[in-house]
Amino acid sequence: MGGKPCIRGMRVTVGMIVGLVAAGHDFAHVLKEHPYLEEDDLREALSFATISREA
């Protein structure tokens, strides 16, 4: 994925998760559209994005 941080080695980037949430999609919607993800994946992605922006 071009060096972008991914969820648990999947081809799902942190940026994709942040973008979906920023666009107004709630966790339930994201999980329904991407059933291979878990709620903890979404929380970790948002946490990672926050920490990365602060560094």
Examine residue 25 and state whether it is found in any structural domain, yes or no.
yes
- 8-state DSSP, 6: B
pLDDT in tens, 24-48: 999 999 999 999 999 999 999 999 9
Rounded to 5°, the CA angle 26-17-23 comes to 55
Does 42 fall in a domain? yes
pTM value is: 0.87
To the nearest 10 degrees (0 to 180), the angle between helices 39-54 and 14-22 is: 100
Residue whose tokens read 């878990």? 38
Report yes or no on 30 lying in a domain: yes
Determine the average pLDDT of the residues in 9-18. Answer: 94
Range of the domain at 18: 14-54
Please tell me the total count of domains within the chain.
1
